[in-house]
Structure formats: structure tokens, C-alpha cells
Amino acid sequence: MSTLRFNALKETLNRQPIEVNEPKRRSDIFGKNVFNKYAMRQHLTKQAYKSVIDAMENGTKISREVADHISTGMKEWSIQNGATHYTHWFQPLTGGTAEKHDAFFELEMDGEVIEKFGGGQLVQQEPDASSFPNGGIRNTFEARGYTAWDPTSPAFIMGTTLCIPTVFIAYTGEALDYKTPLLRSLQVVDQAATDVCKYFDKNVSKVVATLGWEQEYFLIDAALADSRPDLQMAGRTLLGHSSAKGQQLDDHYFGSIPSRVLNYMRDMETECMLLGIPVKTRHNEVAPNQFELAPIFEEANLAVDHNSLLMDVMRKVASRHNFKVLFHEKPFAGVNGSGKHNNWSLATNTGVNLLSPGSTPMKNLQFLTFFVNTIKAVHDNEELVRATIASASNDHRLGANEAPPAIISVFIGSQLTKVLDELEKVTDGKLSPEEKTDLKLNVVGKIPEVILDNTDRNRTSPFAFTGNKFELRAVGSTANCANPMTVLNAIVAKQLIEFKEEVDALIKDKKLKKDEAIFNVLREYIKQSKKIRFEGDGYGEAWEKEAKKRGLSNNKTTPTALKAKVSKKTIKLYEDLNIMSKVETESRYEIEVEEYAMRIQIEGRILGDIARNHVIPTAVKYQNRLIENVVGLKEIYGKDFKKYAKEQMILIEDISEHIEKINKGITEMTDARKKANKAKNAEETAAQYCDNVKPYFDVIRYSCDKLELLVDDELWPLTKYRELLFTR
């Protein structure tokens, strides 16, 4: 009998929902563990408070002296709330979060003990940067990087540690994390959008990007998940036959949440409340044991931090409930994968959502301006948008007939399509008074109504307008949102800068009125960006053909998709906007390409090990039983034995055939890996892993899965899909 699997199954049989302590009112505890404005007001001097708020809202520098005051207040607050340690919390390019805890505790020269945390420790620290990916920016032996406080994201207490959100930068100035370019992109889009807003409202002085992510995930019993080496090490199953029942009946989506899971969610959401993560929605997803969680949207930098923090919290709380969270985009073949929709918009300091239609024609013209510019930005940079969501794990989802395809397109709904069609007909140059009135009354003026009864939603679009925001749906569930957010902010910022230049030129040179100029430029943008708009079924084959005709890219694998990250166009975009230097852009590409190859390499090794060490020996064991049986039958029935042993003999042969395919596949895959490792550079290695190594996964898996169906269930060592996905 296969001990690990059956022990694990036994363990799950008696699981009970874990009791949770949930407050009656969430508002009572919201942000209790966050050094937010409320806590700051209580623990900081007036001057220090003003200084932090100024830094948060206007990006001003905090002097060293004030930093000393702030750190003292922060320390007092955090000790009162149970913290004993502090850490700079940052997001290195590994995709996770990093922290190194130091105690507040210090020994003075005279042996006296005090709790200490100075301004210096708040503002800057030096983690050993050599152990984080840096894409060749610094040689490991001279690795010097530092973390610097980001006052725009408040400090928080996790467990007994005060966590201070920081950026992570090399001493030579290059960013080594996700946050730095994100912050730079937010600054740029703020500037560009504010300038454009001034056409419509002089009072706008700041624009922030907003992000509301939706996190999908699987919850698997911890004992069962731990019984599978592939889940443990690669976060996904590399083999396993589909269970007889999957998601065919559509009986999981929005169904009632199982009580063990519900208690997990309540517990985890309580932690989120304490940390100020405004989680709001929870429900079952399409696949069995798949769920989704969404917060109320926030300023993008904070929302990105909150998503990283959430993933951490989810893992930690899961272990209390004997669950393992799988964030992988495709943990199980044949069932739905997981994504992380990124809902994005722009909001002004005057409280206006720029992607939400307003109550007057002028406000709607502002809406249209941002709406059309966003579409144009995506049109002009579709390959970069595709690149930003590329990863080894997301490759399993994109284009797999269940998730947005690898082709980027924009869905806006039939009503707004009509509006854009109308705008396309606007006269070139000056508009007659009649035309202006018509536009006001019948086109621009009608938009709010249009959107209100705009019920058409397209779930197959990778980038959809959903009434008051755009939703980038192709982001993978493991991704750090900073990447796609940086790209969106950057391309929209660039677009808005160009827009303003063009409108200003028409006003100045052609003597057009402001609204005439805007209509003129929008008309051209609508025409120029038409090919990115697609309202049909994004999963269909017809779209692939159509997209090709339109000249849209269809980069199906990560190594091909990533190339857009280092195209001349991208490097220039980031350089022009001061978001990343060429060195930074190239080093990030290097890191991602290397990571891709490593992931496939690791998966290849795991698959090889499982197939050779678990599957083949099991198959042989079972085959021996069959052989024994045949030999026995022969003993009893002599030359007539075939009458009774025929089927067993077919099974014996089938098993041999599969064993051969598996073993041969592994040998060939290993050779392909060796060759890929010797390729001339990281890019070539990644390409070879993609084209020459990965295809063996399917070959090997196919035979393993067939054996799973042939071999006695009692002997099978790997926990099966039906057990992983349906055990509650």
C-alpha cells in the first residue's frame, strides 16, 4: 500500500472547521495594526505628522531630524501594539516579499538595556543584496544595495514585527525591486494626467492611479498537498489523471462555501482588516476548491503592497486551518486556472474617477479623453502589455481556451462602440455650431445613460472596459501587480503627454477652440487604434485568424513575449519618462528570462524524479502481480491458459509500452536540458527550454496518467485529482 497518500487521506477524514475569533464589526478593528493617519496623530509631534502627510501627498523629502521624531513615535506605537522587532519590507525581483527582522532591543556601553529605533534605521538599511536577483547590475562580490523608506505606504505590524515598506536600490542607483519603477510611473502619470485635466477643471492638482485586484486561488488540504512532491516544489501538479467529475456541472461557481473554507476566509479576512487591507468580496470560483477574493480598490502603490501582503497572510493563515493555498496559474490540468484581474483607473484629488462618465457634456468629454487615450496607449503598446503578464506559469493559462488569449485586445461594449463610431465622423478642423450642439446632445451627452444600461460584458477579453475602469484580466494569479501597473501607467502617461501636445498645437496653430481641438485629436486616435478593439469571443479560433489579419501580435510563449520588454521602443519609453534606465530595463529582462529557464528546469527535474522513482516502480510492481497471475493461470490451465489470461496479458504489454515511453522521454528530456544549459546566452537557454525541453512534459505525463488508470488504486503513490480537488 502506498503509505504517504493513504496516511494523508486518513488525516483529512477527521478535519473539522477551525474556530475563529471574528469581531462583530469589521470597522472596529480596521487598520488597527497600521501606522495610519490616526495612529500618527496620536504618536507624532505636529511637525512630524505634517511632514509625513506632506511626503505622502506631495512627495516632499523628510529631513533627518524629523525622521528621528517619526521613528520614535513609530517605535512607541508598535511596542504598545505588541511588536518586538522591526524590518524593512520590500519586494525584490523574486516576486515575493523580503524581510529581515531586527529587535528593538539594544545594549548600551554601560550594559544597560534599552529599546531603540532611530531615524537612520527607519529611513535606510542595507540588506545583503547579493542574494537577490539583480540581472547582472552588480557583481555578487561587490553587492551593495539599500532599502529606503516609502512613506506613501504606511508601516504595519505583522505578528510581532513592525514592517516598514521600502524601495530596494543598488548603491549605483539602479532599482532592484518592483516598487521603485512603479512609484516613478505613478509620478509620471500623475503629471501627465493632471496636465490634461486642466483642460476641463483648473482645480485638479493631482491624479492617482487606482487598482482593485481580484485574487483567485485554490485551497487544498495541507496533508494532501504535502503528499505530492510536485505541488510542494513546483506549486502545480505535473501529472495526475483528471477525475471523473471536474467542473463540467458548473456546480461550484458562486455555490455555498464549504464551512472549513469559510472559517479560513473569516480568519484570513480578520487579519486583513487588522492590516488595513479592505477585502470585501469572497466567492467560489469555477473549479472545485477554487475561490476568489477582492478588496475595495485603493491608490495603486498601496494596492500593490496590499496584494503582496495578502498573499503572505493567506499562506500563513492557511496553515492554521490545515490548508495549502495554491497561487499557481494552473495547478491542475483540465480544470480552470487562476488569474488576478487588475482593475485600473485614474482619480483626481477633486474626487473624480476619470474613467467614469459625468453629468455634463464637458465632464463626458473628459471621460472620453481618458477613455480613448487609454485605448490608444494599449493599441500602440500591445506587445509590451502582453510581455508584462508573461511568465512560465501564466503560459499555461493564456490561450488555453479558458483565459484571455495571448493576443491583447480591448473590449468596450456595443454602446460605447457606437459612441466612438459617431466621434469618428466629426468634421476635420472647425466644427459648425449645429455639429457642436448635436455632439453635446446626442453623442457626448448620452454617455451616462449608455453606460447605465450597458449590460454587455465580455469575459473573454484580456482588457475590458467595465463601466468605470479598465480590467486587465490576463494577469497571472502569482504575479506582483507592480509590473502590469507600471506598464499601464507608463504607456498611458506617454499617450497623454502626446495628446496634450497635439491639442495645444491645434489650438495654437489652427486657432481651434479647446473642445474642437480635443474632438479632432480624439477622432484621429479612434481611427488609429481601431484594430485593437474586439468585441467577439476572445477564446475562439476565428479571433486568432482575425487578429493575425489585423497585424496584432500573438506571442504564445514567455520567451517570445518577453522580447518586447527590451525592444528599442520600450527602452526609449522608460528612458523618456525616467521610469527605468536602459541598464535597469535590460537587467529585468535578464532576470525574467533566467527565471523562466530555471522554472522549466526545476519542473523537468521534478517530473523526471516522480516518473522514474514513483510511477515506474509502481507500474512494475503491479505488472509483476499481473505476471504472477498469468503464471498461476498457466499452472492451473496448462495450454488453455490464454483463454483466461488474455486481458491480463494485454495489460502487461500496455504497461511495458508506457514504461518505455516514460523512460525514453526522461532520457531525451535530460539530454535536451543539458543542451539548453550550454546555450550561448540566457535568452537562448530560455528559448531552448521552451521549445525543446517543455514538450517532453506532455509526452511523459501522458503515459504516467494512463498508468494511473491502469494500476491498482491501492498501489498508486500519488494523491489523485479527485482526492485533491474534492476533499473538504
Handedness of CA 625, 629, 634, 640 (dihedral sign): negative
Place of cell 504497461: 655
Three cell numbers written together for 24: 462583530
Distance (Å, whole) CA 359 – CA 528? 28
DSSP states of 228-276: -HHHHHHSS-SS-PPPSSSSTT--STT-PPPHHHHHHHHHHHHHHHHTT
Task: Pull the grid cell for residue 242.
Answer: 483528471
In terms of CB distance, is 179 or 341 closer to ligand ADP?
A: 341
Cell of 363: 465632464
**Shortest separation between residue 670's beta carbon and ligand ADP, angstroms:** 44
Q: Which of 222, 294, 412, 490 binds ligand ADP (CB under 6 A)?
A: 294
Instruction: Report the chain's terminal Cα–Cα distance, integer Å.
Output: 23
Residue number, 8 or 464, with CB nearest to Mg ion: 464
User: Of 131-139, 204-212, 250-258, 602-610, which segment contacts ligand ADP by CB under 6 A?
Assistant: 204-212
Does residue 212 bind ligand ADP (CB under 6 A)?
yes
d(CA 129, CA 138): 9
Cell of 568: 528599442
What distance in Å separates the CA atoms of residue 30 and residue 622, rounded to the nearest whole number? 57
Does position 340 bind Mg ion by CB under 5 A?
no
Minimal CB distance to Mg ion: which residue? 341
Q: Considering the complex, what minimum distance in angstroms separates the CB of residue 565 from ligand ADP?
A: 25
Verify binding: residue 211, ligand ADP, rule CB under 6 A.
Answer: yes
Comparison of 338 and 343: residue with beta carbon closer to ligand ADP? 343
Dist CA 33 CA 721 (whole Å): 39
Q: How many helices (H) and strands (E) does the chain have?
A: 27, 17
The only residue of 132, 297, 525, 574 in contact with ligand ADP, by rule CB under 6 A: 297
Residue 89 backbone phi and psi in degrees, to 5: -110, 120
Q: Which of 289, 301, 466, 477 lies at the binding interface for ligand ADP (CB under 6 A)?
A: 466
Choose the contact partner of 147 out of ligand ADP, Mg ion, none; CB within 5 to 8 A by kind: none
**3-class DSSP assignment, residue 547:** helix
Q: What angle do CA 136, 142, 143 make, to 5 degrees?
A: 65
Quick check: helix, strand or coil at residue 299?
A: strand
**Applying CB under 6 A, which of residues 135, 235, 295, 717 lies at the interface with ligand ADP?**
295
Count of residues in contact with ligand ADP, rule CB under 6 A: 15
Nearer to ligand ADP, 296 or 650 (CB): 296
The residues, any chain, with a CB within 8 Å of residue 163's CB and separated by 6 or more, are 86, 87, 89, 99, 155, 156, 157
Largest CA distance in the chain: 105
**Choosing among ligand ADP, Mg ion, none, which partner's interface includes residue 581 (Cβ < 5 to 8 Å by kind)?**
none
Q: Please, which residue, 146 or 344, has the CB nearer to ligand ADP? A: 344
In the list 353, 629, 648, 663, the residue contacting ligand ADP (rule: CB under 6 A) is 353
Cα gap 480→465, rounded to integer Å: 22
> How many Cβ atoms sit within 10 Å of the Cβ of residue 518?
24
Kindly indicate which of the ranges 205-213, 224-232, 234-242, 589-597 contains the residues binding ligand ADP, using the contact rule CB under 6 A.
Answer: 205-213
User: Which residue lies nearer to ligand ADP by CB, 146 or 200?
Assistant: 200
Choose the contact partner of 391 out of ligand ADP, Mg ion, none; CB within 5 to 8 A by kind.
none
Which of Mg ion, ligand ADP, none has residue 361 at its interface (CB below 5 to 8 Å by kind)? none
The residue among 534, 281, 538 whose CA lies nearest residue 410 is 534
Query: Which residue's CB is nearer to ligand ADP, number 269 or number 595?
Result: 269
Residue type for position 715: L
214 binds ligand ADP (CB under 6 A): yes
Q: Can residue 484 be called a binding residue for ligand ADP (CB under 6 A)?
A: no
Q: Which residue is nearest to ligand ADP (CB)?
A: 212
Shortest reach from residue 324's CB to ligand ADP, in Å: 25
Phi, psi torsion values for 237, nearest 5 degrees: -85, 130
| Partner in contact with 469, chosen from Mg ion, ligand ADP, none, beta carbon below 5 to 8 Å by kind | ligand ADP
What is the number of residues in the chain? 728
Q: Which stretch binds ligand ADP (CB under 6 A): 206-214, 216-224, 387-395, 444-452?
A: 206-214
Cα dist from 702 to 422, 555, 658, whole Å: 53, 26, 9
The span of 5-13, 340-348, 486-494, 515-523 binding Mg ion (CB under 5 A) equals: 340-348
Q: Does 296 bind ligand ADP (CB under 6 A)?
A: yes
Which residue in the set 241, 469, 523, 599 belongs to the binding site for ligand ADP (CB under 6 A)? 469
Of the candidate spans 71-79, 367-375, 377-385, 463-471, the one that interacts with ligand ADP by CB under 6 A turns out to be 463-471
Examine residue 242 and tell whether it contacts ligand ADP (CB under 6 A).
no
Taking CB under 5 A as the criterion, the residue among 241, 341, 500, 599 binding Mg ion is 341
Among the residues of 14-61, which ranges form H helices?
26-29, 37-43, 46-58
State how far the Cα of 370 lies from the Cα of 366, in Å rounded to an integer. 7
Q: Which does 388 bind (CB under 5 to 8 A by kind): Mg ion, ligand ADP, none?
A: none
Does 345 bind ligand ADP (CB under 6 A)? Our answer is yes
Residue 468 binding partner per list Mg ion, ligand ADP, none, with a CB distance cut-off of 5 to 8 Å that depends on partner kind: ligand ADP
Which residue stretch of 343-351, 393-401, 551-559, 685-693 sits at the interface with ligand ADP (rule: CB under 6 A)? Answer: 343-351
Element holding 628 (H helix, E strand)? helix 616-637
Q: Which of Mg ion, ligand ADP, none interacts with 345 (beta carbon under 5 to 8 A by kind)?
A: ligand ADP
Least separation in angstroms between CB 345 and ligand ADP: 4
Cell numbers 492638482 label which residue? 205
Give the interface with ligand ADP as residue ranges (CB under 6 A): 210-212, 214, 294-297, 343-345, 353, 466, 468-469
Q: Which residues here bind Mg ion, judged by CB under 5 A?
A: 341
